[in-house]
Amino acid sequence: MTTYLLGIDLGGTNIKIGCFDTALKLIGKISVPTDAEMGPDFIVDKFYCASEELLKQNDLSLADVCAVGIGSPGSVNLTEGVVAAAPNLPLFKNVPLKEMASRRLGKPAILENDANAACWAEHIIGAGKGSDHMILLTLGTGIGGGIITDGRLIHGPSGGAAELGHLIIYPDGRLCGCGQNGCVEAYASANSTAARATETVRGGVRSSLETPLKEHGKITCKDVFQHAGHGDAVAKEVVEGTAKALALLCVQLANVTDPESIVFAGGMIAAGDALLGPIRRFYKQTIGHVFNKGSLEICFAALGEDAGIIGAASLALTACR
């Protein structure tokens, strides 16, 4: 019986794959490192091997799978199934990922921008259920976005819409992977949050974050939130900076599409209220009083870290019919 779907969430750091039934119930999931520096062919091989492994763990095989949905970071041309460019996958330039994955797995494949896929999942069964005007922001290696207005995802003429990590919040600020200066991604992604902490500690400011830096040679975003929770001043200031950057992004977006809700997804939301609280606080402090946008709901994805694989699977569903 070919009644299962695979949803693949390709990230700059990890590839997550979920196996779902056609009611989008999660059967099982797996996560493997992306090894982005190995390039597209290697990554498509990983899709295959990790899918086989996941299916085996659940007493299934590829014969049981009807279609595969892939969420990829960067500019995705839906019609052509091509990843045009992705800052966190530097070797992906006009990669026909849909066709490559379809051939390697022997299944129909659907390719969408990863954040769009997650946004659609939250719209149909998650935090944005019932709202035709919502925005999703994924906080991971980079920052991605998906925009729904009037119940439809915005793609732009060639899939370049909703690159929401690349709104400039501090002109002439930190250099971003996209080539611009001062993007919100250069401040508030997991990588940038960790980088800002590392720079401060390396700059000689005393902090309990010296310990992970000495012990593991690096500071992670998780370290930053953990040490902020324990009262470290440097970590607290870095968290405030991340929240302020994300609040500024929310203000911009409130003034562009006027969503009813902005939903945060991705690995960083594990930080919980330590992240959501200050984002809401900075948003309220910053948003203008004239346009009555103070009531915007800022919340976390209901589907948690699974939004990406659920969204990808929901797209795969369209290829089964």
Q: Which residues would be at the binding site for a copy of itself (CB under 8 A)?
A: 74-75, 84-87, 132-133, 147, 149-150, 152, 154-164, 166-171, 176-181, 183, 248, 251-260, 286-293
Distances (CA, A) of 64 to 27, 70, 268: 13, 18, 33
Shortest reach from residue 162's CB to a copy of itself, in Å: 7
CB of 220 to a copy of itself, least distance (A): 25
The answer to whether 87 and 61 have CB atoms below 8 angstroms apart is no
State the amino acid at position 221 in one-letter form.
Answer: C
Picking from 174, 115, 119, the residue whose alpha carbon sits closest to that of residue 143 is: 115
Query: Which residue number, 60 or 239, has a Cβ lying nearer to a copy of itself?
Result: 239
Nearer to a copy of itself, 24 or 296 (CB): 296
User: Taking the complex as a whole, how short is the minimal distance between the CB of residue 131 and a copy of itself, in angstroms?
Assistant: 8
- Return the closest-CA partner of residue 4 out of 16, 18, 305, 15: 18
Nearest distance, CB of residue 79 and a copy of itself, angstroms: 13
Taking the least distance from each CB to a copy of itself, the nearer of 171 and 204 is 171
**Taking the complex as a whole, how short is the minimal distance between the CB of residue 286 and a copy of itself, in angstroms?**
6
Cβ distance to a copy of itself smaller for residue 73 or 212: 73
Q: How far is the CB of 52 from a copy of itself (least distance, A)?
A: 33
Least distance in angstroms from the C-beta of 195 to a copy of itself? 18
Alpha carbon distances (Å) from 289 to 244, 250, 292, 293: 18, 15, 6, 7
Of residues 10 and 109, the one with the C-beta less far from a copy of itself: 10
- Extended strands (E) in 34-141: 65-72, 75-77, 82-85, 93-95, 109-113, 134-139
Exposure class string for 287-306: b at 16+ Cβ within 10 A, else e: beeeeebeebebbbbbbebb
Instruction: Tell the residue number behind the tokens 């729904």, with chain if given.
Output: 148
Sheet of strand 109-113, all strands in order from the earlier edge strand to the far edge: 26-33, 14-21, 4-10, 65-72, 109-113
Comparing CB distances to a copy of itself, the nearer of 103 and 284 is: 284
- Which CB, 50 or 167, lies closer to a copy of itself? 167
